[in-house]
Each structure stands twice: as structure tokens, then as C-alpha cells.
Structure 1
Amino acid sequence: MSGPAGHALSLQGVAKRYGDFTAVQGATLEVASGEFLTLLGPSGSGKTTILMMIAGFVEPSAGRILLDGRDITALPPERRDFGMVFQGYALFPHMTVAENVAFPLRVRRMARAERDAKVRAALDLVQLDRFADRRPSQLSGGQQQRVALARALVFDPALLLLDEPLSALDKKLRAELQEELKALHRRIGRSFINVTHDQEEALSLSDRIAILNHGHVMQVGSPEALYERPATRFVADFLGKSNFIEGEAEPDAGGMALRRGRARVVARGTAPAGRALLSLRPEKIVLLPAEGAPALAEDNVVEGRIAAWSYLGTGFAVTVETPDLGAIRVHLPAWRSPVAPAEGLAVRLGWSRDAAVVVAEDAAMAPQGHAA
């Protein structure tokens, strides 16, 4: 499709208050030209409110919104030239697919020949050119969402805003459309801003993710940076699963150590003397039977017994109760698993010092902290 390349968007201290309730608290975000940014957070975290302020449907109580350096805070939605895709598709049931896609162009009073060419190009982009004469009721959910995407892109918008566009679809179809949406973003080169509460969707689609909680932007970074180096307990716990080990920090030649009971856990990074918190991902832990298995050559080794386990298809989710560190969750691959899980089985756990990362308790971590 022809039209402008991606545009850069900037949110500067944007807030939204409804009486005594503050939905968004001083959000500052930069969206680079051509970037796919996802706003990720639980229900009520403020992510949809931020998207609605970007779209112009909600007026900020404070702060500014800039597009390519131009202040658009007071600009009405129809003059922002942003495409938007909603969770519920919002298609006109009495119109054909082609008529739905053409609607934004008819509003703009585009000439018939140019309008038809743009509609054909948009439908071809989402691989629905064969369905131009059908009505939405004759399409699957995934096809209807593609129509909504084509309609949002047909007028060459400056930005594409996506409000949980895949959440109404089943898991398999959602995964397929995630791949298509990512490929579509690469092809057209526009800036996409996506809202979701689905962690897997955010990780698979995004160039960067902004994690929100209680109206604060807690951390911004690439999917890898956020997953591997979460700044706070909330970020580590919300994006994936994590074990948390709390104890007394002390210096160590390779970084830092944390002492809890008789256990001493070594990790990379530093922490001031006193109470410290480590995040340890379940898939980074090696688990072997306590008897009849080779010794673990990991930096940290603890013993325990399996308290519970479940089969997940690709792997086992195992909970191991340890004397000093409490319950530790481990993810084991199901294929050629080193252990046949059974409740009460004595096991040894091991992980390298690189596997655990120091995180801040949420109350101690100022919002807006950014990942490296």
C-alpha cells in the first residue's frame, strides 16, 4: 500500500483522572517510527485509557501527546488520521466486505476509481480479495478481524491502534493471526500500538513492551530485556512465571549472594546489604533424582521433594518443596525428561548464578523504570 511511513509518537507526563480516581498517572512513552509497541497489563492497569487518549476519544487531565513533534493533545479524533481496530470488529452487518473497507474513504469523499483501487489493495494485503462481496455474517471470526484490519489501513493512517484485537478468538486462531499481524507490520512499516493482557501475544508481536500497573508505566523494553531482566517483582511475576527468593544480601566474588536459613544462593548483579529479592524462572532450573543421577555442576544446588506436578503437553510443571527456600516451581521438558515426576520423590535442583536476577519490591521501585 502507498502512503506515509511510520510516524513517531510521544507521551509526556500524560494522566487521566475521573474525580478522585486516577486511571493513568503521569505516563511518559516514546513510540519510534515504524515500531510495534504493546501496552501490557492486567485489567484496570490503564492501558486502554492510554490508547483512548492517543486516539483522541479521551481527553488527558494532564500532559501532552505529540506526533512527530507536533502537539496533538487537543486535536479531535477525526483529525488525527489514526486507524483503529477493536476487539469486537465493529463491522457494519448490512454492508459487504468491500463496502466496510471502503467506508473510511467514502467519509473522506474519495473519488470512486481511487477508492476501489485502495479497497482492492487493502483486501489483497489481508488476503481477503476473494471475499469482497460477502457480508460479515458469512465470515469466520478470523476473517472478520482481517476485514477490520483492512478498513483501518485503507486510508494510509499515520498510526494503527489495536485494542485487544485478538482476544475474542480461540487460542489456535489467535496464534495464527499473531503471525499474520507481525508479518503485516513488517510489510507496511507503520507504527503499531497494541493493547493486550495476553503475555504470550505481547512477547511474540512486539518490538518493545510497556508494562502497566495501577496506572503507572512500570517498565519499558524489548521482550527479551523485560523477560530476562525484570526490574520489579510485579514485572517478573506478570510477564511469565517466576520463583521469588528473599533473604539477606551479602557480597560474593561473582556478584552477590543471598542467605536464607542454611541456604546460600549466588547470583549476578548487586544488592545493598539487608533484605534482597531474587527472581528465578522455572525453565532455568535443572532437576534430577536425588539418587542414582550424576552430581549437578551448577552454582546453586538444593535438595527437596516433589510436592505436586502436572502434565502440560510440552512439559511438566513441578513444585518442589525445599527445607530452606520453600516451594520452588520447575518447568521440565516432557520429551526425554530426566525425571518421571511423582509426589514425594526426592530430587536435587540446580541453577547457575546467571539464572537468578535481583528485582525490587514493587513499593520500592519508582514507576517509569526502563529496561536496559
Structure 2
Amino acid sequence: MSAAGGRTSGHALELRGVTKRYGTFTAAEGVNISVGQGEFLTLLGPSGSGKTTLLMTIAGFVQPTEGQVLLDGRDITALPPEKRNFGMVFQGYALFPHLTVAENVAFPLRVRHMPKPEQAEKVRAALDLVQLTRFAERKPSQLSGGQQQRVALARALVFDPALLLLDEPLSALDKKLRAELQDELKALHRRVGRTFVNVTHDQEEALSLSDRIAILNHGRLVQQGSPSQLYEAPRSRFVADFLGKSNFLHGRAAEGGAGGFSILAGSTMLAVAAAARPPAGSNVLLSLRPEKVSLLAPGETAENMVDGTVESWSYLGAGFALVVATVDLGPLRVNLPAWNAPFAPAEGLPVRLGWAANAAVPVEEDLPAAA
């Protein structure tokens, strides 16, 4: 098993105009995605968005109605799954309960008729990779959920697959274990240097694991980019709302200058730092992340300020989550670090909120599929 620190052992994947229809229902429509060598790409979206259909299309279990699947520039659309040499990890692990850990990991090598001495060597290397060597003779029922998932990863990697496909691999685990496995999976990706394609509906998992994320909705690709690009610069309301939480501010474009423009929301004028200026009088929708809003202390100022009243609040350990009622902007979510909050929140407390001109991002209500 190769375990390269660099990314030379990965393969490039491309989906070119992939569409899948089931009668009158379109599960995926005109999807174009390129995955670079050694990249970790996550297909992210709500239930019914088409992400699993695309993963099954990549694996070869689903034939697209239109479009192509290419590996290193070679068209593999018609190639059956067993000829693609892709590893796959399923949500439910799919381990054989009557086989030991070592026998489960060896199974892909047995069906490839690999000589037993070579099988044993590769199984040892795979189990070492996921730190399960001492569990080789145990049955899956004797392992925790996290350990079973690591066995599934070892089995998917043992035959040196061209790609590793992950179908919601951590969703069956509890929150704490899922966070631990995220760190392990990310480290494993770095060690093996393979190309990973992951499917999830969990936004935190996608942000934590991925080099790049492709966000899907109703079978269409709506935006793709690095986690920070998608979080900091969503192009649509759907992306801003699905990837994390956001406040949405409605207003009409007012005057513009070299560094941005202003919008009028009710009687409140808000400054927006943006390269593109909308026509004066046009409707504008802004996305403002809750952690970019501050509670201003008496005498403190900000580029944008609005008065409000604390409607509700929650203590989350690391911080407070507030909902502040305002006259012109409606209820605003505010996330504050608990350790340096200017004062303790309380329902009915009058507060002044502030944020920088570059904190809010103009977004569209809806977008066509990304090119």
C-alpha cells in the first residue's frame, strides 16, 4: 500500500454534463465537477439534492442519462463498477459479521486472487494505517462503531484503489466520535495521497474535511469552491443558509462609492464593502453571519449600527447565541464568545449591534446551476 506524503498517487476525476432521469424525475441535471489528483472533494446538499446519485454514477452503479465520467481524461462512463478499481465506504460499514477484522480487510484481495503472502502483507499495512493491527483477530461485533468504520476504511484502501468514495461514512456515529473520526479521516487522506470523494449532508463535516465542496440542490450544482470561499462568499441565499447560519438583510441600493455602496433598510442606512455596485433603487439581499455581529459597549461605534432588544438567548459553553429584535432589520442572530462578552445577556435587554462594512455579502435569492 502506498502512503505518500505528497499527492502524486491520486487520480483526477471529471463529471461532464452528468444528468440522471428516472422517468419524469430528474435526480441530477447537467452537473460539471472536476476533482484534482489527491483532492478531498465533498458533495454536500440536503436530502434529495442528487449527491448520492452522483456518487453512485462515479462508482458505476448508476448509468447517467446524459454526460460523461472521466478518470485521468479517459471516458469510463460505460465501465462496470468492478472494472473501475474504486474503493467505497458505506454509511453502515457493510462488514461481514462472521469474518475477523483481518479477513474482512483481505476480502477485496481474495476476490482479486492475490497470493496469500502478499495478501497478509497488504492487510498488515492497511490495519497499521488505521491503527487497528492489534484487533486483527476480532470480529466486527467486538469493536466499537468508530473501530468498525476504520476497518471499512482499511478494506477500501487495501487494494490501492484509484479513488476512495465515501457515502456518509460518519453519520452513524455519535457527535463526539464523529468529530474524532473527522480528524483521523483527514490525517489518513494526507498520508495515503489518494483522491477522496465524500457525500454528506453535515455542514460541519464538509467544512472540516474538504479541500473543496460542491453544493447541490434539486439535482443541480449551485456553487463549488474551498470551504472558506463558500462560507465567506456565498453566491446565493441557499448556500449562505445551508452552509452555516446567516442573517438576511433586505434593502434598496442607495449611493455608491469607490469602496462599495449603501442600502436603505427601512430607515436604517447600511454600508456594504463590495466590488460590484448594484443600480440605485434596486433590491439588495445581504448575508450576514451571526459571529460577525458584535454587541457594542456604551460609547463604542462601528461602520454599521442598529438598536434592538434581546428576544432570546442560549448559553453554549464557548459562547452565547442571541436573537435580537430590531425595527428595520427584523430578528438578528448574534453569536458572542462567552469569555469576553461586554455584559451578560438577558431577555428584554436593550442593546446596540455593530458590524463592519465588509461583514455582509450580497447574495442572490436563487441561482442557476454553476458552470
Alignment TM-score, normalising by the size of structure 2: 0.96
Give secondary structure in 2 for the equivalent of 1:202: helix
Residues in 2 aligned to 1:245 and 1:118: alpha-carbon distance in whole angstroms: 56
Shift of 1:98: 0.4
Structure 1 unaligned spans of 5+: none
Q: What's the counterpart of residue 219 of structure 1?
A: 223
Residue pairs, 1:164-175, within 5 angstroms: 164-175=168-179
Give secondary structure in 2 for the equivalent of 1:177: helix
Residues in 2 aligned to 1:266 and 1:52: alpha-carbon distance in whole angstroms: 46
Residues in 2 aligned to 1:93 and 1:324: alpha-carbon distance in whole angstroms: 60
Alignment TM-score, normalising by the size of structure 1: 0.96
Shift of 1:271: 4.0
Give the share of equivalent positions with the same residue, in percent.
70
Q: What's the counterpart of residue 266 of structure 2?
A: 261
Q: What's the counterpart of residue 368 of structure 1?
A: 370
Q: 144, 160, 172: which one pairs with 1:156?
A: 160
Contact 1:16 1:60 in 2 (8 A): yes
One-letter amino acid of the counterpart of residue 265, structure 1:
L
| 1:232-285 residue CA offsets vs partner (Å, 9 max, x unmatched) | 000000000000001101232220111111101111223422101000000001
Contact 2:247 2:332 in 1 (8 A): yes
Residue pairs, 1:1-372, within 5 angstroms: 1-2=1-2, 5-253=9-257, 254-269=259-274, 270-273=276-279, 274-288=282-296, 293-362=297-366, 365-368=367-370
Deviates more, 1:230-239 or 1:296-305: 296-305
| 1:27-76 residue CA offsets vs partner (Å, 9 max, x unmatched) | 00000000000000101100000000000001101000000000000000
| 1:311-370 residue CA offsets vs partner (Å, 9 max, x unmatched) | 1121111011111111111001111321211111000000000100110111xx22116x
Give secondary structure in 1 for the equivalent of 2:345: coil
Residues in 2 aligned to 1:337 and 1:260: alpha-carbon distance in whole angstroms: 27
- Runs of 4+, deviation exceeding 6 Å: none
Give secondary structure in 1 for the equivalent of 2:33: strand
Residues in 1 aligned to 2:352 and 2:87: alpha-carbon distance in whole angstroms: 54
Shift of 1:295: 2.2
Contact 1:252 1:266 in 2 (8 A): no
**244 and 301 in structure 1: CA distance in 2 versus 1, 3 angstrom threshold:** same
Give secondary structure in 2 for the equivalent of 1:17: strand
CA RMSD after TM alignment: 1.0
Contact 1:320 1:328 in 2 (8 A): yes
Contact 1:245 1:278 in 2 (8 A): yes
Residues in 1 aligned to 2:329 and 2:139: alpha-carbon distance in whole angstroms: 59
Residues in 1 aligned to 2:336 and 2:234: alpha-carbon distance in whole angstroms: 22
One-letter amino acid of the counterpart of residue 272, structure 1:
P
Structure 2 unaligned spans of 5+: none
Contact 2:290 2:334 in 1 (8 A): yes
Residues in 1 aligned to 2:137 and 2:26: alpha-carbon distance in whole angstroms: 46
Contact 2:123 2:158 in 1 (8 A): yes
Residues in 2 aligned to 1:266 and 1:8: alpha-carbon distance in whole angstroms: 43
One-letter amino acid of the counterpart of residue 166, structure 1:
L
One-letter amino acid of the counterpart of residue 92, structure 2:
G
One-letter amino acid of the counterpart of residue 144, structure 1:
Q
Residues in 2 aligned to 1:359 and 1:163: alpha-carbon distance in whole angstroms: 30
Residues in 1 aligned to 2:284 and 2:158: alpha-carbon distance in whole angstroms: 52
| 1:284-324 residue CA offsets vs partner (Å, 9 max, x unmatched) | 01113xxxx33233110110111111111211110111111
One-letter amino acid of the counterpart of residue 72, structure 1:
I
